[in-house]
Amino acid sequence: MIRKHFCTIAAAIAGFACTFAVVAPSQGAPADDAFLGAQSAFRAGDPIRLSRYTAALGSHPLLPYAEFWQLRLRLEEMPSTEVRAYLAKYPGSYLADRLRAGWLKELGKRREWQTFDLELAPLVVDDADIRCYALASRIARQDLTAIDESSQYWLEAKDLPEGCALVTNEAIARSRLTLPQVWQRVRLLLETGQANAARRTMEYLPQAERPDEKLLNAAATAPAKLLAKPPESLGTQSTREMVLYAIVRLAQSDPRVAAEFINSGLGAKLPPADRSHLWGRVAFEGAKRLYPEAAEWYGRAAGAWLTDDQLAWKARAALRAGDWTMVASAIDSMSVGAHADTAWHYWYGRSLAAQGKADGARAYFLRLAGQPHFYGMLASEELAQAVTVPPVPPAIREDELAKARGNPGIARAMELFRLGLRTEGVREWNFAIRNMEDPELLAAAEVARRLELYDRTINTAERTTSVHDFRVRFLAPFRDTYRAQAQAFGVEEAWLYGVTRQESRFIATAKSSAGAQGLMQLMPATARWVAQKIGMQINPARVIDIDTNVTLGARYLRLVYDDLGHAVMASAGYNAGPGRARRWKSDLRPLEGAIYVESIPFEETRDYVKKVMANTVWYATLLDGKSATLKARLGVIPARSPADKPNSDLP
């Protein structure tokens, strides 16, 4: 399980529930050793040693990596001819794109806009810094509309990349950035914990407008003390902003106490717009804690500018409160990109249906129906459409498999996997398949399946758009083990598979950054506890053994289910801990299972439970030929009750 550790950026790249450590050793061939030595030399910044190892690689399939590392070490002074030679030698490759991205940043720093513009078009990677350099290039050509387009980066809650800072300096120099806009960014950065970035943004303010450093530190470190004895005058914006910041900081630890300050005489001294802003922030913090009053607090934030994240939690608070009008209002206020999320498509349709607008609801459900994910399945069920497995496609021909194996990117990825370099292999593989058509994807997925690279099998099969093979998308390896343990502990086999697919993608040697191991990602302490519970003697080194891991995981899943009494809550508890899953119930009313899931405060766990429950429906259909609907499986989560008696022994 991935409780107690939330995944790193490598997880997002891999499409996994968690990040896996390197577990496969090198085979020890001289060329392999030379490659690993080259990698070590690059990481150490040692060009001489890197050159020696590169010369020893010969025609090794991973030679492009060593050549890439050589160029990266001297990219700042490298002539364009060498970069272009590498791009021409390995056209369209993952490494060529990485080199181009690094080179474009160097060109941006040097203000070599003509070369930058020429080399930008072929770039595949999406990089905010490079996008900003592209805007700076346009400004250099006197295209001042680029300044207006840069506003999308200005209100991102993170430090500005160098290219974006360059555009901002141009906007300041041309008087295109106003004081209210600077304060808006300062406020956003402070309230999202980006204090250093906020201080850098304050440098765009005139000296007389900047906050007092002592007041800023007091607001950040002792907000309650500052608010108990606030500044006598709130006449300047810098002082008011520090008071607002103090209230938000307090809300991040205790929204109810922060709400009391807004309702006090201090709140009355603030302009109405500032009070509305504070209610939006307090409501946001309260909603993430699932406070029932969060919906009411959002109501007091009328007129405030809310981020998409705040609006998402407004919608979730309204869902838990049963306020469908507020659900629709929150989604209506989201940006176009956020509104397009499948979750908000579904819930907007539900809000229309609840308001008696059946035709509008149907239109929203039709946009999602037929898609194999959580909300696509729920939308299909709203339309009374059966969730069915697509027809099995024609068998993959040997020439199609040979073509997939011969793809240079896939070939390099297979070499990287062979050497145990999983993160690099995943990146290379994903880049290689990004533009493949459905038959090519299914052939690549079959190549991965035959190599028992089950994570790449699933990831690749999931990308098809018209021709699908759900036998591959929802692999069921180690069937004898799963069937036996499901029967032994009274756990639905489909659910057991659904959990494992999300936990490890069936990589038996998977190990997370926090130490969770094996198919079912068991933490060592949990594995020991369960083993003791069932009288099993285990060697810690054998926890990744398939039979052992599934036995322990199935038993633990059953114990969590017995404790919580509901598969949805047990799935959440397996990921984030049984105590948390219980706390996410409502104090006031039973919750529709889908609402409980959508309002899980941890984004990782929320996504995890959606995928586990959808997986379970598909596995039940594929393994048994029939399944309860997703909505039936989600059921209803009862309200919290004094009668709830948790198993305090569960880890």
In a domain, 506, yes or no: yes
pLDDT value, residue 7: 38
**Chain segment 59-105, per-residue pLDDT in tens:** 999 999 999 999 999 998 888 899 999 999 999 999 999 999 999 99
Please state, in angstroms and rounded to a whole number, the distance separating the CA atoms of residues 241 and 183: 8
pLDDT value, residue 476: 97
Of 280, 306, 332, the domain-final residue: 306
Which DSSP state fits 393? Answer: P
Q: Tell me the C-alpha to C-alpha distance, in Å, between residue 402 and each of 406, 407, 437, 443, 647.
A: 6, 9, 16, 9, 54
Q: Pick from 644, 635, 532: which is nearest to 593 by CA?
A: 635
How many domains does the structure of the chain reveal? 2
In a domain, 242, yes or no: yes
Mean pLDDT of 263-269: 92
In a domain, 77, yes or no: no
pLDDT value, residue 148: 87
pLDDT value, residue 156: 86
In a domain, 603, yes or no: yes
pLDDT score of 627 more than 90: no
Chain centroid to Cα 510, Å, comes to 19
In a domain, 292, yes or no: yes
The domain in which residue 513 lies consists of 479-637
In a domain, 552, yes or no: yes
**Chain segment 170-219, per-residue pLDDT in tens:** 888 888 888 999 999 999 999 999 999 999 999 999 999 999 999 999 99
Q: 501: domain CATH number?
A: 1.10.530.10
pLDDT value, residue 539: 86
**241 carries an active-site annotation:** no
pLDDT value, residue 79: 87
Quick check: 577 and 570 in contact, CB under 8 A?
no
Of 306, 335, 350, the domain-final residue: 306
DSSP of 588-629: SS-EEHHHHHHT-S-HHHHHHHHHHHHHHHHHHHHHHS----
In a domain, 597, yes or no: yes
pLDDT value, residue 648: 64
Report which secondary-structure segment, H or E, holds 636. Answer: strand 636-637
pLDDT value, residue 12: 33
Round to the nearest angstrom and report the end-to-end CA distance of the chain: 11
Of 279, 306, 333, the domain-final residue: 306
Mean pLDDT of 135-141: 94
Q: How confident is the model at residue 28 (pLDDT cuts 50, 70, 90)?
A: low
In a domain, 145, yes or no: no
Q: Which of 67, 492, 503, 598 is catalytic?
A: 503
Residue of 46 and 4 predicted with greater confidence:
46
pLDDT score of 378 more than 70: yes
- Mean of all residue pLDDT scores within the chain: 92
pLDDT value, residue 641: 85
Residue of 579 and 651 predicted with greater confidence:
579
Global pTM reads 0.91
48 Cβ contact partners less than 8 Å away, ≥ 6 residues apart: none
pLDDT score of 416 more than 80: yes
pLDDT score of 16 more than 90: no
